Amino acid sequence: MTKKGQQAGSLSRRSLLGGAAAIGTTAALKSAGALEANPANLPPNVSEWTPYLGAGVDANPYGVPSEFESHVVRRSVEWLTASTESSVNFTPLQDLEGFVTPNGLCFERHHGGVPEVNPVDYRLMINGLVDRELIFTLDDLKRFPQTNRFHFLECAANGGMEWRGAQLNGCQYTFGMVHNVQYTGVKLSDICREVGVKPDASWVMAEGGDSAGMNRSIPIEKILDDCMIAYAMNGEALRPEQGYPARLVVPGWEGNMWVKWIRRLEFGDMPYMAREETSKYTDLMADGKARMFTWVMDAKSVVTSPCPEKALMGKGTQLLRGLAWSGRGKIDRVDVSLDGGKNWQTAELHGPVLDKCLTRFTLPFEWNGEELLIQSRAMDETGYVQPTIGELQKVRGVNSIYHNNAIATWQVHADGSVDNVRLG
Amino acid sequence: MLDLGNMMMKPALSTAKAIMGGSLLALVLTSPTLASDRPFNLGKIATAEEVAGWDIDVRPDGKGAPVGAGNAIDGEEVYVELCAGCHGDFGEAVDNWPVLVGGADTLDSHDPVKTTGSYWPYASTMYDYIYRAMPFGEAQSLSYDETYQIVAFLLYMNDIIEDDFELSNENIGLIEMPNRDGFMLPDPRPDAQPVSGEPCMTNCAVSTTIIGRARDIDVTPEEES
């Protein structure tokens, strides 16, 4: 059973994910056949796992997912970057439910690899325009009043490969640079009170202790409003690849600013114009000028099932699943179209619907084998409407790389398989 | 187009209004009690030596630039030894590593080439980044002079300074980069919104013709069996 299950799983993944033209449109149904149950385990028979004792406690002191879920992993696109240390991988959104991303599935983006920081040696330095330049240990940070908040973190380049057309055939590769966890940590406003911010301080430069020394400038209003230094995610210490032992949290703003392995905050009276806010993370328009300091992540949504990795497995009742989020506040509404944007129906939002947080939506529908062009469109509490790619291109051209929050289209074929397509 | 003084104020104020109405800012910044007391008595005072060891940033105006100097003639040797392996002898880049030289007049083309010369608005950023993060995997290993030499070499290769120009902490904030005015502030978003404000729900006039397929592009990683 184990071997069979694993084999079936890999077949299924290969046929659904593979961009190879050799894979026919019936592949999805064939692999669905490979996933058929073993009659010996079905009623009225006694299933093979029932008579015998299973594994005892401590078989996995730190629990791991079922072996049948081994396909639920982060994945990368090798040709995107020059090295794995300065690279990115993607959250498997298509395999997740609810709005919490498991820690081990949160996408990674590093610029100089993952440093191994012994928490005993961790220090956070505050310097610049403050009354007292202070150094905090991790223990110091944990003694401050605590705050716990769910927030999405999205890379500004999420969907960046799709500006000119449908390029990557997967929900994971086109939307997976986002994750959503509960952060535990210290409000930066409390740290600011401790160091005493001078009146002329208007910008804060956050700097990481990694080999990239990642640094970004953040206006002090944002720092004081809702930024925090987090030392835990989803109830446990930060994962090393997410900044262990401490990272910056900048709710609703592009992920690059959420400096990991944070070692220093410098208060100043002008932006620092670091590489990551000039050479990178600036949005080149068609006329050759670039937008700068485009921090907020606009409202966005994606249908996570069906999608290129999640074929429809049979006719009849279906449950469409998706995620929506906005860096400007709460999600107000998500509409879904099955006919390429001609007609829309409003999906059900599953609470809690939180500020700057992923929101789960579902929509039941009947499918009888007809071709579908599935889209989702998010609106947030400010009234912002997620645009089509055509609307974005009209304003921004196709060289922007960053901040593509356009509606995607999944084409469902008669056999249930799904493709990422571009309409026009 | 990009004015530093304007920049310092505008995004900050608009952000403040959009996010918090300015109330918290006023509380924290103007209250003398909060500004002078330590409410938690946590952390230790950083010594000047400790701050100096970690305070490596260099601002556009040159503030923070350590005392040192270098020119492109000396920089070529350092560059070839430490940088060319990834970035190429002439900054043209090897494999997927960043191109550092050239790209003038390409920013409005179909294939913009964003280099230190064609795109970066400040020379200070080159010093800041190269010292803190380069060579890749040997961060903060360069001497101050070596860093000035490498920056000078790249500026020279991009026709911004002469090869004997002594770049230093005194003048790095004064270098005029070609794309200095190529950036727009503040952020003009939200943009690309429906004219009516309300999105269409039924019988919407949209094209549903498929004009491209990711499957045809065929660059999606394939799963190993």
Is A294 in contact with B223 (Cβ distance < 8 A)?
no
Q: Is B110 exposed, middle or buried (0-12, 13-18, 19+ CB in 10 A)?
A: exposed
Q: Which of A147, A155, A101 is nearest to A327 (CA)?
A: A155
Query: How far from A33 is each of A17, A369, B39, B145, CA to CA, in Å?
Result: 17, 17, 65, 67
State yes or no: cis peptide before A65, omega within 30 of 0. Answer: no
The answer to whether the CB of A234 falls within 8 A of the CB of A185 is no
User: What CA dihedral angle connects A79, B224, A15 and A316, to 10 degrees?
Assistant: -100
What is the number of other CB atoms lying within 10 angstroms of the CB of residue B26? Answer: 13
The residues with which A334 forms a beta bridge, in sequence order, are A378
Q: What's this model's pTM, rounded to 2 decimal places?
A: 0.90
Amino acid at position B106, single letter: T
The residues with which A110 forms a beta bridge, in sequence order, are A87
The answer to whether the CB of A291 falls within 8 A of the CB of A282 is yes
- Contact of B136 with chain A, judged by CB distance below 8 Å, is answered with yes
The answer to whether the CB of A288 falls within 8 A of the CB of A335 is no
Dihedrals phi, psi of A167, to nearest 5 degrees: -115, -45
- Contact of A400 with chain B, judged by CB distance below 8 Å, is answered with no
Strands A409-412 vs A418-423: parallel, antiparallel or unpaired: antiparallel
Cα–Cα distance measured from residue B26 to residue A138, given in angstroms and rounded to the nearest whole number = 29
Give the residue with greater pLDDT, B196 vs B41.
B41
- Contact of B67 with chain A, judged by CB distance below 8 Å, is answered with no
DSSP string over A69-83: GTT---EE-GGG-S-
Is A274 in contact with B125 (Cβ distance < 8 A)?
yes
The residues with which A385 forms a beta bridge, in sequence order, are A379
Interface test with B, best of A200, A279, A376, A392 (most B CBs within 10 A): A279
Task: Report whether pLDDT(B90) > 60.
Answer: yes
Amino acid at position A184, single letter: T
Task: Report whether pLDDT(B48) > 50.
Answer: yes
Q: Which of A365, A366, A363 is nearest to A377 (CA)?
A: A363
pLDDT recorded at residue B15? 43
DSSP string over A309-360: TB---SSEEEEEEEEEE-TTS-EEEEEEESBTTSS-EEPEEES---TTS-EE
The tokens for A123 are 């220090």
Cα–Cα distance measured from residue A409 to residue A376, given in angstroms and rounded to the nearest whole number = 8
- Coil vs helix vs strand at A204: strand
What is the number of other CB atoms lying within 10 angstroms of the CB of residue B9? Answer: 13
Tell me how close the Cα of B163 comes to any Cα of chain A, in angstroms.
24
Dihedrals phi, psi of B148, to nearest 5 degrees: -60, -40
pLDDT recorded at residue B195? 86
Is B29 in contact with A111 (Cβ distance < 8 A)?
no
Q: Which of B32-41, B87-96, B183-192 has the lowest mean pLDDT?
A: B32-41
* CA angle in degrees (0–180, nearest 5) for A342-A343-A349: 130
A residues 230-249 lying closer than 8 A (beta carbon) to B: none
Dihedral angle sign, alpha carbons of residues A386, B193, B215, B203: positive
pLDDT recorded at residue A68? 95
- Contact of A4 with chain B, judged by CB distance below 8 Å, is answered with no
pLDDT recorded at residue B2? 39
The residues with which A382 forms a beta bridge, in sequence order, are none
- Coil vs helix vs strand at A39: helix
Rounded to a whole number of angstroms, the CA Rg of chain A reads 23
Amino acid at position B22, single letter: G
Chain-wide mean pLDDT for chain B?
88
User: What CA dihedral angle connects A164, A170, A171 and A174, to 10 degrees?
Assistant: -30
**A363's torsion region: left (phi>0), alpha (psi -120 to 50) or beta?**
beta
Interface test with A, best of B10, B36, B107, B215 (most A CBs within 10 A): B215
pLDDT recorded at residue B25? 45
Cα–Cα distance measured from residue A300 to residue A326, given in angstroms and rounded to the nearest whole number = 6
- Terminal Cα-to-Cα distance of chain B (whole angstroms): 54
pLDDT recorded at residue A4? 36
Task: Report whether pLDDT(B93) > 90.
Answer: yes
Element containing residue A217 per DSSP (H, E): strand A215-219
Cα–Cα distance measured from residue A344 to residue A338, given in angstroms and rounded to the nearest whole number = 8
Cα–Cα distance measured from residue A185 to residue A136, given in angstroms and rounded to the nearest whole number = 14
Query: How far from A334 is each of A123, A350, A381, A406, B15, CA to CA, in Å?
Result: 43, 11, 11, 14, 26
- Coil vs helix vs strand at A412: strand
Is A221 in contact with B12 (Cβ distance < 8 A)?
yes
Give the residue with greater pLDDT, B35 vs A81.
A81
Percent of chain B with pLDDT over 90: 80
- Contact of A422 with chain B, judged by CB distance below 8 Å, is answered with yes
- Contact of A24 with chain B, judged by CB distance below 8 Å, is answered with no
Element containing residue B210 per DSSP (H, E): strand B210-213
Q: Which one-letter DSSP state was computed for residue A184?
A: E
Residues of chain A with pLDDT under 70: 1-34
The tokens for A43 are 């009623």
Task: Report whether pLDDT(B5) > 70.
Answer: no
The residues with which A320 forms a beta bridge, in sequence order, are A363
pLDDT recorded at residue B37? 81
Per-residue pLDDT band for B217 (boundaries 50, 70, 90) equals very high
- Contact of B204 with chain A, judged by CB distance below 8 Å, is answered with yes
Cα–Cα distance measured from residue A157 to residue A167, given in angstroms and rounded to the nearest whole number = 14
Cα–Cα distance measured from residue B83 to residue A124, given in angstroms and rounded to the nearest whole number = 31
Task: Report whether pLDDT(B36) > 50.
Answer: yes
pLDDT recorded at residue B23? 45
pLDDT recorded at residue B211? 97
The tokens for A15 are 């046929």
Q: Which one-letter DSSP state was computed for residue B47?
A: P
The tokens for B157 are 């290769």
pLDDT recorded at residue B224? 63
Return the exposure string of B53-75: e unless at least 16 CB atoms fall within 10 Å of the residue's CB, then b: ebbbbbbbebebbbebbbbbebb
Cα–Cα distance measured from residue B147 to residue B153, given in angstroms and rounded to the nearest whole number = 10
Q: Which of A171-180, B7-16, B200-209 has the lowest mean pLDDT?
A: B7-16
Is A140 in contact with B42 (Cβ distance < 8 A)?
yes
Cα–Cα distance measured from residue A181 to residue A20, given in angstroms and rounded to the nearest whole number = 34
Element containing residue B15 per DSSP (H, E): helix B4-20
The answer to whether the CB of A388 falls within 8 A of the CB of B177 is no
pLDDT recorded at residue B35? 44
